[in-house]
Amino acid sequence: MSTSSLTRRATLLGGAALVGGGAMLAAAGGASAAPSAQDIRILNFVLQLEEIELGFYAAAIDQGALRGELAEFATTVAAHEREHVGFLRDTLGAKARPKPKLQIGTAVTSGKRFVAAATTLEDTVVSAYNGQAANLGAAALGAAARIVSVEARHAAWIRAIAGQLPAEDPTDPIATEAQVRAAIAKLGFLR
């Protein structure tokens, strides 16, 4: 592995750990206000996305088809997604929706399929958070901002592995909930 690859990976991992740790500290400190009904709906929407990501990465690890940096990516990101799910479930408490039923299928049976699905999934999740940001109250927005910054690092990392530009545009796209649900449906991960 080249020095630039090691530097890129160390930067991504270090930054992700720092931001992820910030999210956990915020959770430990407690929210300053109870989430509104709209915040709860949106947080449940992103919780479902985080659950899909966690299921995808867990299935990839269980399948055992990934090697090298792809295996490291899946293991690292799965740990982050587990923390995101826990954070959102703690925030929502009894108002958290049940875990969705997943069927990951062949997306984790080869490195090529994994990269294609992971790139779509990570880009979609970042667009979902960005699309919902203006609809959240201040406390929920603060929590989401801590997560989306790590999701963006995941998207950049998998794009770099795929030989794609980590950021194609100077700003990230936003997506509506309907657009996100359509993109997730195309992946075929939900039963």
CA gap 42, 55 in Å, rounded: 20
- Write a three-state SS string for 27-62: HHHCCCCCCCHHHHHHHHHHHHHHHHHHHHHHHHHH
All residues at 6 or more sequence positions from 138 whose CB lies less than 8 Å from its CB, including other chains? 32, 33
- At 142-174, the pLDDT tens digits run 889 989 999 999 999 999 999 999 988 899 889
Give me the domains of the chain, ranges plus CATH numbers: 3-187 (1.20.1260)
Q: What is the mean pLDDT of residues 43-71?
A: 98
Q: What is the mean pLDDT of residues 112-122?
A: 98
Are the C-beta atoms of residues 127 and 173 closer than 8 Å to each other? yes
Query: Where residue 56 falls among pLDDT bands split at 50, 70, 90?
Result: very high
Q: What is the mean pLDDT of residues 110-138?
A: 97
pTM: predicted TM-score of the whole model, two decimal places: 0.83
All residues at 6 or more sequence positions from 19 whose CB lies less than 8 Å from its CB, including other chains? 146, 149, 150, 153
CA gap 147, 129 in Å, rounded: 9
Query: Where residue 35 falls among pLDDT bands split at 50, 70, 90?
Result: confident
Tell me: pLDDT of 24 over 60: no
Q: Between these two residues, 29 and 191, which has the higher pLDDT value?
A: 191
What's residue 33's pLDDT? 65
